[in-house]
Amino acid sequence: MKLHWSPRSPFVRKVMVAAHELGLADRIQTTRTLVGAAIVAPQLLPDNPLNKIPTLVLEDGTVLYDSYVIIEYLDSLAGGRLIPREGPARFTELRRHALGNGFLDMLIQYRMERERTPPSQPMMDAFAKKFDSTLTAIDQEIEAINADPPGIAQISLAIAGDYLDFRFADLGWRERAPRYSAWQERFRQRPSMVATPVVDG
């Protein structure tokens, strides 16, 4: 399987951490694909016209995106360990994944806005409120989330913590969300996280 990949994308990292957790990492060949809000990768468009990574191409040419779809596919190959198959446990996991994934989406938009000259003050004010409400909600729920086996929600929330350290060190998230921080310090020591470092290159 070929994965359009970048070492800086937290959404790509979700797929790689999931692959390591599932014992499938050695079946994925990564190819460096640089995309961004102002950067189109021509070699990606035939596989994914949206110009987004991660995008996975299977041996038979089947293409899968976005990160959720790829992880559900990998999980199906491994017998279903990261996403419960049905019932309330499934929808709880999917909602918590949407929380972690939506937080990542928000952070990427927040960073883009912050780097504009000038940023929109009404948008920056809204980001500050949403950042606070989301960080607080994760801090309040993290112990319940931790009671379940590691799955797609925990992976996304752990990656969000590393992304905060990487891009938002100034916001003091570890002091503001001490339970989330303590949980994330433990989760980030898993081999799947250690094997997929975030590098700015």
Which C-beta is closer to a second copy: that of 65 or that of 183? 65
Contact segment (CB under 8 A) with a second copy among 15-23, 25-33, 86-94, 152-160 equals 86-94
Q: Could you please report the per-residue DSSP string of 96-128?
A: HHHHHHHHHHHHHHHHHHHTSSSPPHHHHHHHH
When asked if residue 147 is in the footprint of a second copy (CB under 8 A), the reply is no
Residue 103 carries which side chain, given as an amino acid letter? F
Q: Is 96 left (phi over 0), alpha (psi -120 to 50) or beta?
A: alpha
Question: How many Cβ atoms are within 10 Å of 24's Cβ, its own excluded?
Answer: 15
Closest separation in Å from C-beta 159 to a second copy: 16
| Residue choice 98, 108, 182, 198 for contact with a second copy (CB under 8 A) | 98
Within 58-193, strands assigned E span 63-64
Say whether residue 99 binds a second copy (CB under 8 A). yes
As a whole number of angstroms, the distance between CA 8 and CA 102 comes to 17
| Residue from 68, 173, 183, 187 in contact with a second copy (CB under 8 A) | 68
Q: What are phi and psi of 42, to 5 degrees?
A: -60, -35
Residue 133 binds to a second copy (criterion: CB under 8 A): yes
Identified binder of a second copy from the candidate list 23, 27, 114, 125, rule CB under 8 A = 125
Beta bridge partners of 55: 4
Give the shortest CB-69-to-a second copy separation in angstroms.
Answer: 4
Contact residues for a second copy (CB under 8 A)? 36-40, 45, 49-52, 62-66, 68-69, 72-73, 76, 86, 88, 91-92, 94-95, 98-99, 102-103, 106, 109, 116, 120, 122-123, 125-126, 129-130, 133-134, 136-137
